[in-house]
Amino acid sequence: MTNEIKGGSTLSKDVPQRRTRRSYNEEKNNRRDKKFKMYRTRLIPIWLRLVIVLFLLLIASMFGLMIGYGVIGDGEPLDALKWGTYQHILDIISGKE
């Protein structure tokens, strides 16, 4: 009897409570919300991100070649981007020069 007074309820915990119309509608809305998922729309699509990364990789490698050839190697930095430089390197490797 003291537990019932403290708890403020005279219903036993073993007895299931009757569902009200409000709780039934809330359960129905929760079930409906579970069916629909929220999808995140991307500002930049994945394919465009890949293109941007590849472009930045190309720019970084060009700057790296120019710094390595021009600053460290005592050459002209723009010569690192010319095809004649690489043709000369390939000729040395193949033994033509």
Q: What is the pLDDT of residues 37-51, one digit of tens each?
A: 778 888 999 999 999
Amino acid at 23: S
The pLDDT value recorded for residue 38 is 77
Q: What is the pLDDT of residues 24-73, one digit of tens each?
A: 666 666 665 566 777 888 899 999 999 999 999 999 999 999 999 999 99
Beta-carbon contacts of residue 62 (< 8 Å; ≥ 6 apart):
81
Beta-carbon contacts of residue 81 (< 8 Å; ≥ 6 apart):
62, 65, 66
**pTM of the predicted protein model:** 0.53
The pLDDT value recorded for residue 40 is 81
Residue 88 has pLDDT above 70, yes or no: yes
34 DSSP 8-state letter:
H
